[in-house]
């Protein structure tokens, strides 16, 4: 995405990135990366694992581009691609570079997206695939993400974490793994936020014996960036794992707000619920916390508002990422 005009005056560039590649020395990459990000005032989260890198960073444009250049200086990451968007406030409060077993957790050790994945479908060709009545279209994201937006006609597995996807597939007639020597002929198309989860989910389908497996290249974010609203089959907003909460067409920040008690994305209707208390509860979690927990949440919200009145950021107000999840 090109730099916006001065009239729009956004200040921060966000870059979502991932790449599956063998990184046996991944742990040694962490400290230089942390130092560079801090020096460049870049924040966000990056995951490093033996299978590659995944994450989202944001900051001044020059800083973000310096970090991307540093990553691509490693020959193994020379072809690393990223997706850009802009915002007028920093979408992250701190920088984290974490060492993980997987850059997106599925817990299928024999799976290797470097060897086989589904066929990539360009955003401009995605609508035609969705219109094919013989294609089973699966949203591989978690329930709270699907709740705020998805493609028309897509199946929602209603999973709470990506690791639940294999078991869900096992329970669906026609989507279970093939018998030895069998080739599954069902056409399957899968999509996710930025593409990384589909690298693994389509590799999983190929491993389970499915021949025709498709994958939205660049994920929902690339689709919303490139496909005009009047041609779009996307309905709603796209949840993202930072303080923007959601984006719409053109990757413009959306109207959703996060419940600070349970991290569920809230609409204006959600906030009109009698169970909604800012920073304390919403209709999704009002009965999940004890009175003591609610009192602690209320105090955190009070401290957050006091900090805001002083022009400061209260660390307790930051959006905690759901464990093991990033845009993807």
Q: Where are the beta strands (DSSP E) in the chain?
A: 12-20, 43-49, 52-59, 81-87, 95-99, 119-121, 135-139, 149-151, 187-191, 213-216, 234-236, 238-239, 246-247, 257-258, 265-266
CB neighbour list of residue 142: distance below 8 Å, 6 or more residues apart: 159, 160, 161, 162, 322, 325
Say if CB 33 and CB 59 are below 8 A apart. no
The active-site residue out of 192, 198, 238, 259 is 192
Q: Judging by beta carbons within 10 Å of its beta carbon (0-12, 13-18, 19+), is residue 232 exposed, middle or buried?
A: middle
Of 12, 2, 119, nearest to 58 by C-alpha is: 12
Helix (H) or strand (E) holding 222: helix 219-226
Catalytic-residue membership of 37: no
Q: Name the token pair of 301.
A: 């919200």
Q: Are strands 95-99 and 43-49 parallel, antiparallel or unpaired?
A: parallel
Burial class (CB in 10 A: 0-12, 13-18, 19+), 268: exposed
- Active site amino acids: 192
């Amino acid at each position: 995405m090109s730099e916006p005009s001065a009239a729009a005056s956004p200040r921060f560039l966000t870059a979502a990135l991932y790449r599956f590649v063998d990184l046996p020395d991944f742990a040694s990459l962490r400290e230089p990366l942390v130092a560079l990000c801090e020096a460049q005032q870049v924040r966000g989260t990056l995951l490093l694992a033996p299978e590659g890198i995944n994450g989202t960073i944001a900051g001044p444009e020059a800083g973000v581009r310096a970090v991307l250049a540093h990553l691509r200086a490693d020959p193994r990451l020379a072809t690393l691609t990223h997706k850009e968007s802009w915002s007028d406030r920093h979408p992250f409060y701190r920088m984290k570079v974490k060492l993980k077993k997987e850059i997106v957790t599925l817990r299928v050790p024999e799976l290797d997206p470097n060897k086989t994945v589904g066929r990539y479908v360009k955003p401009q060709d995605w609508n035609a695939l969705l219109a094919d009545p013989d294609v089973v279209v699966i949203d591989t994201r978690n329930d709270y993400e699907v709740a705020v937006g998805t493609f028309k006609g897509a199946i929602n597995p209603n999973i709470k974490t990506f690791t639940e996807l294999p078991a869900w597939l096992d329970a669906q007639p026609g989507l279970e793994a093939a018998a030895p020597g069998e080739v599954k002929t069902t056409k399957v198309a899968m999509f996710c936020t930025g593409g990384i989860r589909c690298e693994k989910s389509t590799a999983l389908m190929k491993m389970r014996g499915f021949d025709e497996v498709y994958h939205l290249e660049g994920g929902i974010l690339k689709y919303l960036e490139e496909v005009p609203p009047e041609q779009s089959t996307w309905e709603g907003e796209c949840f993202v794992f930072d303080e923007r909460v959601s984006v719409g067409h053109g990757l413009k920040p959306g109207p959703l707000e996060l419940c600070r008690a349970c991290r569920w994305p809230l609409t204006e209707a959600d906030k009109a619920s009698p169970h909604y208390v800012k920073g304390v509860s919403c209709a999704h979690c009002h009965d999940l916390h004890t009175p003591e927990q609610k009192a602690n949440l209320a105090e955190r919200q009070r401290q957050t508002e006091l900090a805001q009145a002083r022009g400061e950021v209260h660390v307790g107000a930051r959006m905690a990422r759901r464990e093991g999840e990033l845009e993807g």
